[in-house]
Amino acid sequence: MPPGPHGYFAGGAGDEITLRDNVAAWQRLALRPRVMVDCTVCDPSTTVFGRPHRHPVIVAPTAFHALATEEGEAATARAAGATDTPFCLSTLSTTGVVELAARAPEAKRWFQLYVFRDRGVTREVVAAAVDHGYEALVLTVDVPVFGTRERDMRSGFALDENMPIPNLAAAGARGTLSLKDVGALIDPSLTWDAVGLLAADSGLPVLVKGVLTPEDARRALDSGAAGIVVSNHGGRQLDTVLSGADALPAVVDQVGDQLDVLVDGGIRRGTDVVKALALGARAVLVGRPVLWGLAVGGEEGVRRVLELLLADLGIALTLAGAPRAAELDRSWVQRAPWAGAD
């Protein structure tokens, strides 16, 4: 990839402390495997919103897939569909909501929402998602403004005016766009009442993405959310916040019996997924690995990334003595001795 788009995909906010810790935090947990368990059948399945999923991996919403491959989000969604992985389309996609549904009809699709200042545009895009079979809305709540992305400042990263970004065009964006221009279209006045309104308007389950504290988890529950994604946006927003791995347990303790809690950030290995499930997550979202697969090999590349992760998950579950993923609990993890003193 050219350095500008590569830095945009790879980078985080500030000193990238949270970006690095997202990966490191899973590695600070040690597994406590059980042996002599009948592992003839491995069943990684889970339920999200009461619906069965063949496995707990979901493609995280990420913007601008045409930066990685000409086909854009259709390639990613098809690869997701081929591996029974739900695909979450970003509001900032380079393929529209309706077009993606037509080009990847097999994929289980979710839609991630950024609420624009122009609420008319938001209403229309949500209505299109509802009409075209998207199964859930993921309301991202950690972007009242974009974080300080110094890689993008150094590279002068901007979106070429020839790259289609349908929802931004509808929201009035024109010409070459910096991330600041994009951010200016997003409504920074959003508060918790938006969750219930969105659920009522759409009739779809609403997941609140970007919660890191039990306080906010409780507010999400009280606001009518169906679930939460414990997430720091891949370390791209507020630097030095907790990783998903470290924020997850307290959120599960607060609302886990009433809401589906998902987690993302730094999930790279089957063992990371096992740890997330053991800590109480129902599913995990994966961001950058999918983008790298897309950049290297388009649809085939994404498929390969997902297949590798799912195969690794099967081995990890089996070797952990938890062939049925639903049986994992916190007794499967402990703080690792190599994690160092607090």
Nearer to ligand LAC, 63 or 221 (CB): 63
Supply the minimum distance, in Å, between the C-beta of residue 244 and ligand FNR: 8
**How many other C-beta atoms are found inside a 10 Å radius of the C-beta of residue 39?**
16
**Would you state the structure tokens that stand for residue 318, as one six-digit string?**
């089996």
Supply the minimum distance, in Å, between the C-beta of residue 302 and ligand LAC: 19
- Binding partner of residue 265 among ligand FNR, ligand LAC, none, CB cut-off 5 to 8 Å per kind: ligand FNR
**Would you state the structure tokens that stand for residue 184, as one six-digit string?**
């200016």
Size of the site for ligand LAC (CB under 6 A): 5
- Binding partner of residue 275 among ligand FNR, ligand LAC, none, CB cut-off 5 to 8 Å per kind: none
Which of 305, 302, 290, 297 lies closest to 63 in space, CA to CA?
290
CB 135 within 8 A of CB 109: yes
Please state whether 286 falls in left (phi above 0), alpha (psi between -120 and 50) or beta.
Answer: beta
**How many other C-beta atoms are found inside a 10 Å radius of the C-beta of residue 188?**
11
Site string for ligand LAC, 34-63 (x = CB under 6 A): -----------------------------x
Q: Which residue is nearest to ligand FNR (CB)?
A: 287
Angstrom distance (rounded) from CA 314 to CA 309: 9
Site for ligand LAC contains 236 (CB under 6 A): yes
CA angle 248, 252, 253 (to 5 degrees): 120
Nearer to ligand LAC, 63 or 322 (CB): 63
Q: Is 233 a catalytic residue?
A: yes
Nearer to ligand FNR, 69 or 323 (CB): 69
- Binding partner of residue 76 among ligand FNR, ligand LAC, none, CB cut-off 5 to 8 Å per kind: none
Our CA dihedral for 169, 175, 178, 180, rounded to 10 degrees, sits at -60
Question: Which residues form the catalytic set?
Answer: 233
**Interface residues toward ligand LAC, by CB under 6 A:** 63, 92, 143, 233, 236
